[in-house]
Amino acid sequence: MAITKQPERNNKVVKSSDAFVAPDINAFGQSFRDYNAESERQKGVEEFYRLNHINQTYDFVEKTREEYKKLDRVQMSIWECCELLNEVVDESDPDLDEPQIQHLLQTAEAIRKDYPNEDWLHLTALIHDLGKVLLLPKFGGLPQWAVVGDTHPLGCAFDESIVHHKYFKDNPDSKNPAYNNKNGIYKEGCGLENVMISWGHDDYMYMVAKENGTTLPEAGLFVIRYHSFYPLHKAGAYTHLMNEEDRKNMKWLHIFNKYDLYSKSKVQVDIDKVKPYYLSLINKYFPAKLKW
């Protein structure tokens, strides 16, 4: 998820050598993620975040992580999952009308064009949203608020930059004094891997990749795990919790993110044409069948 123009997010831009200026429209004249636009979806998106902010508590995330770490639901390959993802609708996204496999391939192909030698990043792009299968009944059929949308830390104060921040007042964690300050239960510089992040497709796919023994580099796993953590990579919040390793990986997250957002287009990727290339990457970095 991401947002280009919305009032509740502060507009502080993360400075990096890969600074990217967000265009208002894509090459096809379609606008991106304008949460203020008069759109039918806008109210739905706000309601989505209301439910997300009320229900994602520290305890909920801890229990859900524990449950999904078992990976005892499905066995399938990465490519099978790419195809399965077409059955999924992400209600939190105001500008994604194309089939999900097209979003995966458009993102991957756009990165491949600009970074031809980083094959791990092409594959990272292909698989970054596969965790959305959590919405399907055989993966537990989780509600939208537990699968998609921006993510944020639990166990410390909810930063003002989090979209539709006002709804946190009804989250039980807001009343927990241990969580209600900048560091909360964490130590400054503890590293993001030690921070509980709201549950969704990012953390699930990270878990699936890691537990199935992927050989993707750490930067790829970092991109998968934090690509929806907009308060961090867009607003620059929570950087005090990062460690040296996180700071190195942020470079790739910033690069990835602009493709995740701005490669969406009506021009479809020819799946049959690119499939052999992606199958070869899957074969290089993953076992043939994975536990989900």
Question: Residue 41, annotated ligand binder?
Answer: no
CB of 144 to Fe ion, least distance (A): 13
Question: Residue 164, annotated ligand binder?
Answer: no
Question: Residue 91, annotated ligand binder?
Answer: yes
Q: Specify the residue, 129 or 246, whose C-beta has the smaller distance to Fe ion.
A: 129
Q: Which two tokens stand for residue 166?
A: 């006002």
User: Bridge-partner residues for 291, per DSSP?
Assistant: 75
Residue 243 and residue 191 in contact, taking contact as beta carbons nearer than 8 Å: yes
Which sign, positive or negative, has the C-alpha torsion 153, 62, 201, 167? negative
Question: Residue 132, annotated ligand binder?
Answer: yes
CB of 188 to Fe ion, least distance (A): 28
Q: Which two tokens stand for residue 139?
A: 């993966």
Quote the CA–CA distance of 44 and 48 in Å, as a whole number: 6
Q: Specify the residue, 159 or 260, whose C-beta has the smaller distance to Fe ion.
A: 260
CB of 240 to Fe ion, least distance (A): 25
CB of 197 to Fe ion, least distance (A): 13
Residue 196 and residue 58 in contact, taking contact as beta carbons nearer than 8 Å: yes
Residue 282 and residue 79 in contact, taking contact as beta carbons nearer than 8 Å: yes
Residues that bind Fe ion (CB under 5 A): 129, 260
Which spans in the chain are helix H?
40-55, 58-68, 78-84, 100-114, 119-127, 201-211, 218-226, 230-233, 244-262, 271-285
CB of 264 to Fe ion, least distance (A): 9
Q: Specify the residue, 147 or 156, whose C-beta has the smaller distance to Fe ion.
A: 147
Question: Residue 201, annotated ligand binder?
Answer: yes
Question: Residue 258, annotated ligand binder?
Answer: no
Q: Specify the residue, 109 or 260, whose C-beta has the smaller distance to Fe ion.
A: 260
Residue 148 and residue 200 in contact, taking contact as beta carbons nearer than 8 Å: yes
Question: Can you say which residues are annotated as belonging to the binding site?
Answer: 33, 90-92, 103, 128-129, 132, 149-150, 201, 227-228, 260
Question: Can you say which residues are annotated as belonging to the binding site for substrate?
Answer: 33, 90-92, 132, 149-150, 227-228
Question: Can you say which residues are annotated as belonging to the binding site for Fe cation?
Answer: 103, 128-129, 201, 227, 260
